[in-house]
Amino acid sequence: MRRFSLLDLSKITATTALLCMSFVSESRAAEHQRVVSAGGSITEIVYALGQEHRLVARDTTSNYPEAAHDLPNVGYVRRLSAEGLLSVDPDLILVEEGGGPPETLDVIRETAIPVITVPLGFDRDAVEAKIKVVAEALDVEEKGRELASQVLAEIDAAVAESQLNGKRVMFVLALQGGRILAAGQNNAAEGMIHMAGAENAVQGFEGYKLLTDEAVIMANPDIILVMNSRRGMDLSDEALLANPTLASTKAGVAGAILRMDGMFLLGFSVRTGQAVRALAGGLQNVGS
């Protein structure tokens, strides 16, 4: 019988450990090869991480990059169905905070399919947190750190360049019954307005709310900011300025209306630095 020295045993132990580490690494890499992304910001991050080959479906808000349109659509992120999600046989679902409804996600969890919630937020730190969570879920933490570093540098540079001297901006989400549905505080629109160096003209409530005529007059924005489209419902300049109260504001009198792609503007994802620069430039030009 062969006898092993302590040196031999240590070599065997080290080799075994390396083999185990390799096996674990390969096993983790083999996990989650059928991923559903429910949230446009998540989909952008998955592509930026180079992990798009693992996607089997996306939600309606995932409209960038263009290649994402080739994936099966499981519906709007806040109105997902268990049947639609399960139909693509996923082994991981990434969903933005607030996605659901909750009962749908509960059904999915009962099937033992992991559901990971990616946090929302409306500032630089929120973008970093999103990238970190998605990268960890896909077991590509190092790529996540590299991507976050690049994206945060772009955001910092864009914010540093944004000098709008306190221009007051009203973000209009929709017109309902002749009234303005606008962004108040603590939401993506206000977050972007602040990052671009401007002021949110609407204060006093969180989220989005229908404004009274008095509130519109008090806000008196210099610029009106709208999305290019919202699921097919465009807000034309004519429709906005047909509201007599809005038309009487500084923005209305000057016809100062700026349009941007909604996901680009409000996504708080890998393109946020570009969006801040585009918003600041647009606000500067339309308000001059």
pLDDT of residue 86: 97
pLDDT digits (tens, 9 = 90+) for 103-145: 999 999 999 999 999 999 999 999 999 999 999 999 999 999 9
Of 147, 138, 142, 107, the residue nearest 33 (C-alpha): 138
Quote the CA–CA distance of 49 and 236 in Å, as a whole number.
37
* Fold classification of 163-286 (topology level): Rossmann fold (3.40.50)
Mean per-residue pLDDT for 147-168?
A: 92
pLDDT in tens, 186-240: 999 999 999 999 999 999 999 999 999 999 999 999 999 999 865 545 688 999 9
CATH superfamily of 35-160: Nitrogenase molybdenum iron protein domain (3.40.50.1980)
pTM of the model: 0.86
Topology match between the domains 35-160 and 163-286 = yes
Measure Cα distances from 39 to 49, 140, 159, 229, 245 in Å: 16, 19, 25, 17, 35
* DSSP string over 103-166: HHHHHHHHTT--EEEEPP-SSHHHHHHHHHHHHHHTT-HHHHHHHHHHHHHHHHHHHHH---TT
pLDDT at 245 over 50: yes
Q: Which two tokens stand for residue 260?
A: 């941007």
Q: Check pLDDT > 50 for residue 11.
A: no
Ranges of each domain in the chain = 35-160, 163-286
Residue 116, token pair as written in the block? 């990971």
Residue type, 238: E
Half-sphere exposure of 38 (CA within 13 A, CB side): 29
Across the range 38-62, mean pLDDT stands at 98
Report pLDDT for 29: 45
